[in-house]
Amino acid sequence: MKILVVDDFSTMRRIVRNLLVELGFTNTLIQEAEDGNAALMMLRAQPFDLVVTDWNMPNMTGIELLRAIRADAALKSMPVLMVTAENNRDQIIAAAQSGVNGYVVKPFTAVTLKEKLDKIFERLAAAAG
Amino acid sequence: MSVELDNELLNVFLIEARELLESLGEQLVDLEASPGDAELLNAVFRAFHTVKGGAGFLGLNAMVELCHRAEDLLNEARNGAVVLNPGFMDALLESLDLLNDMMRAADAGVPAEPAPRSVLDRLLIPGRTGSAPPVALSPATTSAPAVSAPSSPRAYDPIEDEFEAMLDAARNDRAPTSAPSGTINDDEFEALLDSLYGTGAPGAEAVPVGAASAAIPAAATPVAPAADPNAISDDEFEALLDSLHGTAVPGAISVGADSSAIPAAATPPVATAPIVETKTSKPAPAAKPAAATEKRTSSTADTTVRVDTFRLDSLVDAAGELVLVRNRLTNLAPRGTNDPMERAIGELERVAEDLQNAVLRMRMQPVGKLFSRFPRIIRDLARQLGKDIELITEGEDTDIDRTVVEALADPLVHLLRNSVDHGIEMPDVRERAGKSRSGTVRLSAGQFGDRIVITVTDDGKGMDPEMLRRKAVEKGLMDEEQAARLDERECFDIVFRPGFSTAAEVSDISGRGVGMDVVKTKIVELGGTLSIDSRVGHGSTVRLSVPLTLAIMRVLMVRVGNRLLSLPLSNVTEVFELVPGQIQELDGRIVAAHRQRALPLADLGNWAGAAGKGGHVVVVQIGHQTLGCLVDEVLGREDVMAKPLGPFLKDVPGVAGATITGDGRISLVLDLAGLADDAGQVLPSLRMAV
């Protein structure tokens, strides 16, 4: 499995990475990108199974990245978990409309992250089934 | 609750957050000057936002709370709801100071003091004290019993409440979760996803369209009143997803469906309707999804690696050693033959040089990193003094050795303070003198050969040589006759003498009679020079010149007896060979008659414990004096890496370190400034007397 963690703040990328490892994603290659542009380049260069992206980033924000992923024929089914600082309805709805699979509000624990990921994978499984 | 307080994580956070806060000081000052700069405002917002995010995970609650307030204020400013007046700017700058304090506390491993309520309150928009900022803080939440708040003992803590709300959402605890208004819960989200992407089988894209309009309000209404009117819960979100996608997956290609399924999902024509409704029904304007318009001012996304400076320095040392070995090999190599060995050594020579240059570049830092601290200092000082001052910085991308950058910080702060305090006049005084009310301080850097020149220029009142002469006499630094002999430039140099302060009244900002002499000492320690130029009524310029790097020194290699000594070339002005009869006796001193003047001679051999015969003189500038050093032989110029002598010998005055010559001998590298005392007088042991 391959997960791409996108955040401009490297501390935050490390936190997300640590939490994923804590959740047992040990056989997982976790890669990092520092903004949407970099993420998109990586996504186009190699296959990933999941994107965990921050919302608020310079150059290309999380929502812009999400829209770019959904607009890319090769990437549009990529599951995307959005990390936000605010549990804001307008933002979440906008993200959902743009095709986000899940969201998680900072700060979060490994348990919360797991719940969010489980929900995403449940939905994926349901869709596949 | 928070991630286990992992020390490594904390350190990474502190380094990264410190960088953000460092540029934040400058950005805030810029923002005060141009409050309409939306990009800048976004950058400032993002800095607080990012620090808050990281601090949240590390359980640094005091930082989270403070950043949160600042963020709220900045968000209101972004939405045009409030103008950042000087009062708000003061509060933001104070917050920045507090954040720096909190970071230091976290660094030291002590819990940070929460920000004082006075500061937090000043970040609030007046009249809105009670009202709800975009996140948390609603009366409903704060009045709720602080159940299970494990991370903080404080009762009133908006962050805690937000956190609780989040936890509740995470537990799918629907009772206290979100509202029909600005917030959303997981169920609602799922419903939304369903409505957007259809509830039925893939391909039934007509169904979600119809379902969508009902799905969101339906999902939204049944839930209980919110902890936070803008929050969204997990359930809401799931409902939202359901309403958007059905059980399908965002972006999934629906089997058996037209290609139209995807575009429909991406821009659901009907689903927007209920969303518009949610928007209009919410009580207060929520934060706009800030993201889309944000761009960081410094958008250079470069790929960097952090390296401990200790490791970097050991790399520099190793590269230096390699160069020394190369020098030895070059000396050993047979010359003039087309020997494979010689070619290999030539190759090594080139590679070693490249390596050395690359390593030295790694130690370089743009001086802008240092400059970015100053706008804040100038701004605070100017406000304190009631002056109107603009700081212009130039040449920020000039690279300087890291150690030089750090050593320049204090001297530059002092020079800038002097310009603001003593140089620039009060606005009324300036107006009467026919100048603009606002003064300008210009700080610029540039590279000239192997030196960096930094100037601090102000358009203030300038310095009066006559006044400086008078002061010098008053303070007993010299008698009237001496003072009268000084030329203009020498008059300006008086300010660098210990115990001299020109301010009639000692202010708490710069004039305490210490300072300029300390500045001078520091710059000289760096192998630098300092000069002042000034015109009464027009302002002053202080110009300092420091070497590009401290790692490599250009020296003049000389031999005294059996010793090799390296004299820093920056101090050497001239070399000449003695002719018989040139050494004379004058007033009990041994001097050399040179260029129609009596040049005092210093016996380097005696100082270095070697018996030399003399024969050559190297003219050097030590402190305020010109001195001729007697040496046996002048071997030539060399670039050397001076290695420190180690802990036991590091305080020997006059010795900067040692280097190994091409033929494997050791040469002491002299620190000529160290051979003079604080008053610039050459040490008596050096002087040649009869």
Distance CA B492, CA B472 (A): 11
ipTM for the complex shown:
0.79
Distance from the A65 Cα atom to the nearest Cα atom in chain B, whole angstroms: 10
User: Tell me, what's the pLDDT at B272?
Assistant: 36
- Answer whether residue B468 shows pLDDT above 60: yes
For residues B423-428, give the mean pLDDT: 92
Q: What is the mean pLDDT of chain B?
A: 73
* pLDDT reported for residue B76: 86
Distance from CA of B551 to the nearest CA of A (A): 32
- For range B513-537, the mean pLDDT: 80
Q: What pLDDT, on a 0 to 100 scale, did the predictor assign at position A4? A: 94
Residue B548: both structure tokens together: 């590009």
- Residue A23, min C-alpha distance to chain B (Å): 13
- B544 pLDDT band, cuts 50/70/90, is very high
Window 105-134 of B: residues touching A by CB (8 A cutoff) are 134
Between B248 and A63, the more confident residue is A63
Say yes or no: A49 contacts chain B, CB-CB below 8 A: no
Sign of CA dihedral B30, B34, B39, B41: positive
Q: Is the pLDDT of residue B4 over 50?
A: no
Higher pLDDT, A46 or B340: A46
Q: Is B251 on the interface with A (CB under 8 A)?
A: yes
Instruction: Please indicate if any CB of chain A lies within 8 Å of the CB of B457.
Output: no
CB distance A66 to A99 below 8 Å: yes
pLDDT of res. B157: 38
Mean pLDDT of B137-143: 29
Comparing C-alpha atoms, which of B234, B224, B231 is closest to residue B190?
Answer: B234
Within an 8 Å CB–CB cutoff, is residue A77 touching chain B? yes
Check CB contact under 8 Å for A96 and B135. no
| Interface check B467 vs A, CB under 8 A | no
How do residues B31-74 score in pLDDT, each as one tens digit? Answer: 888 888 888 888 899 889 889 888 888 888 889 889 988 988 98
pLDDT score recorded for residue B99: 92
Tell me whether residues A111 and B228 touch, CB distance under 8 A. no
Q: Are B229 and B183 in contact (CB under 8 A)?
A: yes
Subunit contact A107:B56, Cβ cutoff 8 A = yes
How does DSSP classify residue B419?
A: I
Overall average pLDDT of the B136-161 stretch: 35
Q: How far apart are CA B343 and CA B89, in angstroms?
A: 65
Residue B274 near chain A (CB below 8 Å): no
Q: At residue A18, does pLDDT exceed 50?
A: yes
At B259 the pLDDT is 37
B591-614: average pLDDT: 82
Cβ burial, residue B468 (10 Å; 0-12/13-18/19+):
buried
CB atoms within 10 A of CB A122: 12
- The residue type found at B633 is E
Contact B247 A8 (CB under 8 A): no
Query: How much is the pLDDT for B175?
Result: 36
- Of the candidates B428, B124, B597, B193, the one whose C-alpha atom is nearest the C-alpha of residue A98 is B193
Q: pLDDT confidence of A80, banded at 50, 70, 90? A: very high
Highest mean pLDDT among B95-109, B277-291, B347-361: B95-109
Q: Does the beta-carbon distance from B288 to A90 stay under 8 Å?
A: yes
Chain B residues near residue A93 by CB distance under 8 angstroms: 184, 192, 216, 232, 240, 275, 278
Three-class secondary structure of residue B235 per DSSP = helix
Instruction: Report the gap between the CA of B289 and the closest CA in chain A (Å).
Output: 5
Mean pLDDT of B468-490: 86
Q: Between chains, do A9 and B16 touch, taking CB under 8 Å as contact? A: yes
Q: How many CB pairs under 8 A join A and B?
A: 218
**Chain A contact for B291 (CB, 8 A cutoff):** yes
Q: Is B376 on the interface with A (CB under 8 A)?
A: no
Taking alpha carbons only, the member of B187, B73, B85, B167 closest to residue B121 is B73
Question: Which residues on A lie below 8 Å from B134 (Cβ)?
Answer: 86, 88
Strand partners, B535: B539
- Cis peptide leading into A107, omega within 30 of 0? yes
Reported as a single tens digit per residue, the pLDDT across B634-684 is 998 887 877 777 777 777 778 888 888 777 788 998 887 777 665 556 666
Handedness of CA B255, B261, B266, B270 (dihedral sign): negative
| Contact by Cβ (8 Å): A7, A83 | yes
Per-residue pLDDT, B389:
92
pLDDT tens sequence across B287-315: 333 333 333 334 444 567 777 777 887 88
Contact between B233 and B184 (Cβ < 8 Å)? yes
Pick the residue of B2, B63, B181, B241 with the most A CBs within 10 A to test the interface with A by mutation: B241
Banded model confidence at residue B95, pLDDT cuts 50, 70, 90: very high
Give the tens place of pLDDT for each residue, B388-420.
999 999 998 888 888 888 888 888 988 998 899
CB of A31 within 8 Å of any CB in chain B?
A: no
Q: In the structure encoding, which two tokens stand for residue B194, read together?
A: 């369903």
Specify the pLDDT at position B376: 86
Mean pLDDT comparison of A69-78, A79-88, B171-180, B338-347, highest-scoring range? A69-78
Write out pLDDT tens, residues A38-53.
999 999 998 999 999 9
> Higher confidence at residue B521 or residue B147?
B521
- Contact across the interface for A105 and B169, Cβ inside 8 Å: yes
Q: For B42, which residue in chain A has the nearest alpha carbon?
A: A58
Chain A CB contacts of B232 below 8 Å: 87-89, 92-93, 103
**Overall average pLDDT of the A82-106 stretch:** 86
Cα–Cα distances (Å) from B377 to B45, B422, B518, in that order, read 21, 15, 20
What pLDDT band is residue B163 in, cutting at 50, 70 and 90? very low
pLDDT average, residue stretch B473-487 = 85
Whether the per-residue pLDDT at B149 is higher than 60: the answer is no
Residue B61 is predicted with a pLDDT of 87
Distance from CA of B607 to the nearest CA of A (A): 55
Q: In sequence order, which residues have a C-beta less than 8 Å from that of residue B56 and are 6 or more positions away?
A: A106, A107, B2, B64, B159, B163
Between B435 and B512, residue with greater pLDDT: B435
Q: Does A92 touch chain B (CB under 8 A)?
A: yes
B/e letters for B248-269, b = 16+ CB within 10 Å, e = fewer, are: bbbbbebeebeeebbebbbebe
- Give A10's contacts in chain B (Cβ within 8 Å): 12, 16
